[in-house]
Structure 1
């Protein structure tokens, strides 16, 4: 009998024996196996190695060979991953791991919602609001470029950086721009680059849940700073810096998510001045710059910043498509060097074809036409949703009718609870966002965020409110 056939025969015998033994049981020694089966030491060694490769046994030098923990139960179709609880012991759970797990907690309902569900929970445009034809044409033109598949620079393509610099303001240079793969990854990079673990980071209350998840994943402690009808309050911000010693502020000055507030000009200057006086960075999340409802949008905070206090974050995913994963960071000074270094560690560069497509899209008249059409459509949808609420749920009054963005922010009348309403809405075929996840600490009241951009059309918005009213009354 050849060595190969002897090994195969012994593997088969031992595999059957292992199947009948409990996890952790010790197999006979190599000497015993040689004597019992009349094979050589090489055959035994190869057989044990084969079983170890299959995950059936583990070898411990000096102790012997033992039956491994079984990864699946005999006769079960589902894998048994309970062993991972031990392997992951001592490692803290990722703060974003349950992002969206609460009722009404996710922005992406497409994969889990039953057929017929109307989404008021989305953070992106419905496909019929996206510039699908312009995107397709831009991607086709980009793919025809002879260098389309070459490696892109770590900082991004020069033409794209120039376009994004112009959008950020006259004081921003292309070399101040770092192209990123969308906004969420850039936000995660910023938190890790700027603040040390266990440091406080000041945030508006309420604020974007993705920012809270990213901050906590970076080991930071979000500290709430209340807002009023005009947004972040400079006096309370100064107090928060003084009390916490924070060196980082995250805020959304334009069409704040979820409330829709826009910081007025005087407060915009004060907020930057307060951060500068504290020796702190200010992360300006400008996700909604292209989502105005036809009215002029204030210039970004970074446009008037000269000493690197403001780090500006923008993205094309909101006004274009969730799959156009192109964003940008604008930063000056040593922090930009740190961000470039992190880019090389995280992902090297953003895919060149996607960057080339973004250049093509932003360089054509079709982009400006899309933004004008989008602004009109969003304004109309906002009015339709507000009107439907006033008719069918008059006690659900929006905190404000926003002049831009994708959402209405509602304070629910007592004794309604946001989680219970979100559950009832889901049963009625409507996806909404419960308000509790937007607060870094205990929410002062029950709120809902209702989006008007993810539904297919205005009729769906009216129908969604009708379903909500019937669900709550029931």
Structure 2
């Protein structure tokens, strides 16, 4: 029945596309499901077939459209590249599922970003309009970034003793991470990481040819003794961490834990890369002061991005550090990127310098809190066997533990669960992507900021059926 329905839906869409101009919007998945009496999986199977054929294209958040007809292309032979490239380098990074493109009407809980309605789009549009009238927005900036924007990032630390010359503006937090790993290590070096941790940091370390030494979180943070052992045994001089609202778990280091980790770094003359990705996503009170605010000797390399809280189109972040390490990182960024577009820097500064920015952050915190509580409630009511052991006080995600065993008696595989959920219209991130070594259990990460509460019950139902 499903295959027959899928064939009929695909035939119907082909006929619509053949009679329409390129760019014409086609019926939604819901409309097709109702017309043909089919489920969303059947409709998505038909759409996937037409996408593969080049008949239609899907645009996230917009719908399905007739694709522009491609001119015939002569066959291309790239088989020579097999010999030219040789074997794939060990440790090549895997791109996390949070970057996946999905059908527009799927429930997007895999994403690493908030949905558009949580962002200050009105203020960003106004910022672009104002900045576009300024000639200096089209002049090459210093490689380290606009001085006033660097000063804003430094001042927003809320700590004394920092200067705008300690900051470097980067094209998003990922660029800052990759440049830091390249600049401060050589291939084959070790790097210590919390486990689980951000997939992008794992990928950047592997791309730099580093050996990742994982340390577990003990009560939300790596213990001083585990960190000491990891640095001593591996010879690593670089550790990557998220002390505040860690991705994916939401953990927050206590002041005592922060002091202990920093003390270990000093003892080993090591650097701690502090990824403050969720600085703007506090919900239950203000975010703790960053680790760097108590560092005076250049052990902490601090990264903070505005991309998720300001606009996906304004990929602007800052890296703050002291001494030769900062100079090396700036050189690495200059070689790879030259500089960040001055228009984007100026727009970012325009938006965050206005009173509306603080209003936006207050409103954002309330909205995230409501979504977090709604998803926690939906899981408790609809799938109590899926456990959220720690409700985060900030960030965008829930880290959920699945039952140890599936209905068939086999151990639960989060990748299989995620694949089943995706075929049913729910996109989630399997927990395996967030471990730099073996996973310690079956987990999934659910982004409550990327999908609205009106779909949480539906999402929980799909997740339950996917176990």
Question: TM range, normalised to the smaller chain?
Answer: 0.7 to 0.9
**In structure 1, what is the equivalent of residue 290 of structure 2?**
300
2:108 maps to which residue? 119
> Which position in structure 2 is the counterpart of 1:425?
421
Match of 2:453 among 451, 458, 468: 458
- Which one of 371, 378, 383 corresponds to residue 388 of structure 1? 378
Preserved contact between residue 249 and residue 281 of structure 1 (Cα < 8 Å):
yes
Q: Of 310, 327, 332, which aligns to 1:320?
A: 310
Partner residue, 1:159: 148
CA contact (8 A) 1:207 1:257 kept: yes
Q: Quote the Cα distance in structure 2 between the aligned partners of 1:344 and 1:425.
A: 42
Assess if the C-alpha contact under 8 Å between 2:91 and 2:209 holds in 1.
Answer: no
- Is the Cα contact below 8 Å between 1:384 and 1:462 reproduced in 2? no
Structure 1 runs of 4+ off > 4 angstroms?
Answer: 75-78
Q: Residue 83 of structure 1 aligns with which residue?
A: 80
Matched, 1:203 2:193: yes
Structure 2 counterpart of 1:53: none
Distance 2:438 2:268 in 1: 26
Q: Structure 1 length normalisation: TM-score? A: 0.80
1:424 and 1:77, CA in 2 relative to 1: closer, same or farther beyond 3 A? farther
1:25 maps to which residue?
none
SS across alignment from 1:160: helix
* Residues 396 and 78 of structure 1, relative CA distance in 2, 3 Å threshold: farther
Q: For residues 26-53 of structure 1, give each alpha carbon's deviation from its aligned partner in whole angstroms, at most 9, with x where no partner exists.
A: xxxxxxxxxxxxxxxxxxxxxxxxxxxx
List runs of 5+ in structure 2 lacking aligned partners.
1-71, 406-411
Q: Name the structure 2 match of 1:345.
A: 335
Question: Contact 1:193–1:342 (CA<8 Å) still a contact in 2?
Answer: yes
Q: 1:147 to 1:94 in 2, by over 3 A?
A: farther
CA contact (8 A) 2:382 2:457 kept: no
Equivalent residue of 1:354, what SS? helix
1:108 to 80, 93, 99: 99
Q: How many pairs does the alignment contain?
A: 389
After superposition, what is the alpha-carbon deviation per residue over 1:69-91, rounded to whole angstroms, capped at 9, x for unaligned?
Answer: xxxxxx98663422211111156
Greater Rg by CA: 1
- Rounded to whole Å, the distance in 2 between the matches of 1:292 and 1:95 is 34
Q: How many angstroms apart in 2 are the aligned matches of 1:271 and 1:94? A: 28
Does the aligned pair in 2 maintain the 1:428–1:468 contact within 8 Å? no
Q: Report if aligned partners of 2:176, 2:333 keep a CA contact under 8 Å in 1.
A: no
Contact map agreement 1:294 1:376 (CA 8 A) in 2: no
**Residue in 2 that maps onto 1:439:** 435
- Per the alignment, residue 32 of structure 1 pairs with none
Q: Tell me the equivalent position of 2:118.
A: 129
Cα gap change, 1:382 to 1:81, in 2 (>3 Å): same
CA-CA distance at 1:342 after TM superposition: 1.7
Please give the per-residue CA displacement for 1:347-369, whole angstroms capped at 9, x wherever unaligned.
Answer: 21100000000110011111111
- Residues 471 and 77 of structure 1: is their aligned pair in 2 closer, same or farther, counting only changes over 3 Å? farther
Residues 205-284 of structure 1: matches in 2 within 5 Å? 205-284=195-274
TM-aligned CA deviation for residue 146 of structure 1: 2.2
How far does the alpha carbon of each residue in 1:189-215 deviate from its partner, in whole angstroms, 9 at most, with x for none?
A: 000011121010000010101001000
- Corresponding position of 1:469: 464
User: CA 1:266 to 1:126, structure 2 compared with 1: closer, same or farther past 3 Å?
Assistant: same
What TM-score comes out, normalization by structure 2 length? 0.81
* Separation (CA, whole Å) in 1 of partners of 2:372 and 2:76: 46
Q: What's the RMSD between the two structures over aligned residues?
A: 1.5
Higher deviation after alignment, 253-262 or 77-86: 77-86
Query: Could you say if the C-alpha distance between residues 86 and 252 of structure 1 is closer, same or farther in structure 2, counting changes exceeding 3 Å?
Result: same
Q: CA, structure 1 residues 76+327, in 2 after alignment: closer, same or farther (shift >3 Å)?
A: closer
| 1:362-381 equivalent positions in 2, closer than 5 A | 362-381=352-371
- In the TM superposition, what whole-angstrom CA distance separates every residue of 1:263-294 from its partner, at most 9, and x where no partner exists? 00011111111011111000000010101114
SS of 2:253 mapped into structure 1: coil
Aligned-pair distance for 1:254?
Answer: 0.1
Report deviation, 1:471.
3.4
In structure 1, runs of 5+ residues without a counterpart are 1-74, 101-105
SS at match of 1:318: coil
| Structure 1 residues 257 and 142: CA distance shift in structure 2, 3 A | same
SS at match of 2:137: coil
For residue 156 of structure 2, give the secondary structure of its aligned residue in structure 1.
Answer: helix
Match of 1:357 in 2: 347
